[in-house]
Structure 1
């Protein structure tokens, strides 16, 4: 019994160490996220299809609103909000991450 206690303690401590791991890279320009498996699965099956639909719908809305936004001078802002931001969240962001995969911090 005395031999079993340190083994169980070592295994339980070893299993909990990744929870305390620092997910920051050494480079201050980039942050690296390490999402759990359930977040990746949920992102793959739920979030990415919804974001793809949002990108397609946003592109359609951008084309429809283009004459009006051109008159107001907000084409760049409308394109970024309706097309670029959903597309970045769909295709650039790592699977299960909250932000983009490698965010540059200037």
Structure 2
């Protein structure tokens, strides 16, 4: 088979597997609240990895640059903590401290 047919077959296989619903879901058979974690669907994971994460990383880099450029002015106004939080920390947390496809920050995404 040529490379185009192999690539098309692999793409069709991946797309068909992503359309299958996740059987694990949020079914908590044991009753233990530790196992009630957010289980995002495959399409959310793919969109997060391909679209959201690169944009959030770029936003973190741009925000850090803006923070450095505006640092003298924010220091005079006394808002360095708020500016750093809004421009660098929040986009960084959304980009790096979040499971793939999850909507909440952090590693312990429980349904509390």
- What is the Cα deviation at residue 95 of structure 1? 0.3
The TM-score, its normalising length taken from structure 2, stands at 0.66
Does residue 15 of structure 2 align to residue 26 of structure 1? no
| Alpha carbons of structure 1 residues 16 and 49: separation in structure 2 relative to 1, 3 Å | closer
* 1:90 matched to 2:95: yes
- Correspondence 1:51-90 to 2 at 5 A: 51-90=56-95
Query: How far off is 1:44 after superposition?
Result: 0.2
CA distances 1:26-61 after superposition (whole Å, capped 9, x unpaired)? 25xxx7211011100000000000000000000000
Q: Calculate the TM-score normalised by the size of structure 1.
A: 0.70
Higher relative contact order (CA 8 A, sep 6+): 1
Partner of 1:10: none
Is 1:48 paired with 2:53? yes
RMSD across aligned positions (CA): 2.6
Larger radius of gyration: 1
Query: Which stretches in structure 1 are left out of the alignment for 5+ residues?
Result: 1-14
Q: Which runs of 5+ in 2 are unaligned?
A: 1-20
